[in-house]
Structure 1
């Protein structure tokens, strides 16, 4: 099967590329802005007609779009997460043999939901901020395109290669610095929100499963479990061996005395009433659609994912 991969230089895209290149049944061509790409093309600036000509030359049966932006101005996010998606959809429509499209979306498209329950694909999206709005716009463009297309709405990705600006990328670098400089405190934003953490390598497997399936529409990709961000942070701290304190925006948490709760500690710690800095305090994926239509489920334990984040950070020169 011929596959055209977009966004192979990003956090998810790199792992998707690694996974696809291991599959002898797939012939992978990478399109992107960097010199490492097989085809040089800027999705946010190029025309659908030009991209369609590349599609005709490669004749992919599947186009996988991992391209996009997580940070930046509203304009940059719209260009990367919406305009670029419109270009991809129109180019596929114009090509001689329209390919199947697998597009990577984001759980940020859902926005605030009722805490305590998993989020199904039928929940009405109410994104907060330009990132969620731009990703939802991209999803709407794909699902209304008339193409053979699936959108994988990916929840909170963790694992090796975590960007420095991400929650655990920032924490890992802070821990490394504290250990090197013999500091006893690492400062972090509020960690009270619950998130559905899924390993980036499992996400790559989900993308591969979607590429070879006939599933269409929006499909949640997550672990199916909600974990308090603070509990996840303790796992990373334990992996590092740091024995100091973690100072959050609203209070200081003493790490050695705090059990991990439902991640393997001896008991749960009652939540203290406090204002939430997070505009979205709860995210948990309903993953039944992924199991039923893709035959996929997350397999990597969160402790392993975060241990690998620390190993990569500690070994960085």
Structure 2
């Protein structure tokens, strides 16, 4: 398997993760992590609430909240994985209870399962940079930045992260938290801004100019490719970095409008952008500007982003373009906020 050479960690350079349990394996990031494990010569065990067809032989349907911690602890004792990746969770749901359950209660269930199991794998928990307080524009978010999230999503993610760090500090889990910036690429959530832009482009009639309707594109975000994110997860699973929070991003603030334009270019379709308020807008994220400091990831993981954002846009479009063209919805289009992942 590919390894990251990071002499500062003092780890055994021959160590590599072979078996990885991926929670939320049917989701955007979970699918890419599973693929990365397989590409590196490992064996992913795919855990999702509902069965899916990506790899039936290695898929375990498991409702982490409904089934309780002991179903997962039994799985860990049976499979004896090197690592568990928690890629499960809810992103920007309108229902705060949904986010609390998915981003906090589920994490507590995973931690209880780890504590009950006789086998102790590394837990890589995927947090979010939206757990931080809004930064001053021009100031990169490092791991010492204050955690005062202003959105229900960020608040629910922070409670999950705090639970993981507490379990690690008390010796109940060998765990590391990766706080992810805005992850993009093939499989990007259709409820995100770029996912919605891609859907509008895909639905546009052939030969006609597409009209891409969005909320005002004022924000700048740190975007990172999902393939790079998966590489960071594998490094965190293998290296002795337990008990830490590590930010994962490209380390640059990119105007959201620029990313929309890159996606339009990747589609090859003529299009114009129409900005304006409308139904369905999530207007207040408290984060109009975001850039992630990546020094810790480089130092302790030997990791930095490798894929350019044009490549990310092409991969996003390739995945959307491979899908059947949906039946045209003639109802008024909703507008979407650039704050979504």
TM-score > 0.5, shorter chain as reference: yes
Per mean C-alpha deviation after superposition, the further-off stretch among 104-113 and 45-54 is: 45-54
Are 1:6 and 2:27 matched, yes or no? no
When structure 1 is superposed on structure 2, of 210-219 and 306-315 the one drifting more is: 306-315
What's the secondary structure of 2:145's corresponding residue? coil
Other-structure match for 1:288: 295
**2:67 corresponds to 1:51:** no
Distance 1:184 1:174, change over 3 A: closer
Question: Aligned equivalents of 2:212 and 2:285: distance in 1?
Answer: 19
* 2:115 is aligned with 1:89: no
Partners of 2:264 and 2:76 lie apart in 1 by 46
Instruction: Quote the residue 1:240 is aligned against.
Output: 267
Per-residue deviation, residues 88-134 of structure 1 (Å, max 9, x unmatched): 11111121122211111111111411111210011111212221111
Which of residues 193, 201, 204 in structure 1 aligns to 2:230?
Answer: 204
TM superposition shift of 1:160: 1.1
Q: Answer yes or no: is the 8 Å Cα contact 2:122–2:174 preserved in 1.
A: yes
- After alignment, is 93-102 or 174-183 more displaced? 174-183
Is the 2:217–2:256 Cα contact (8 Å) retained in structure 1?
A: yes
In the alignment, structure 1 segments of 5+ residues that lack a partner are: 251-275
SS in 1 for 2:85: strand
Offset of residue 176 of structure 1 = 2.6
- Which of 83, 98, 112 aligns to 2:134? It is 112
Q: Deviations over 1:10-40 (max 9, x none)?
A: 000000001101222x333222222246332
Counterpart for residue 320 of structure 2: 313
| Corresponding pairs, count | 292
Provide structure 2 residue ranges, at least 5 long, that are not aligned to the other structure.
1-17, 53-57, 278-282, 325-341
Residues 190 and 277, structure 1, Cα contact 8 Å, conserved in 2? no
Distance 1:110 1:12 in 2: 21
**Which shifted more, 58-67 or 175-184?**
175-184
Q: Give the match's secondary structure for 2:36.
A: helix
Taking a change above 3 Å as real, the CA distance of residues 192 and 57 of structure 1, as seen in their structure-2 partners, is same
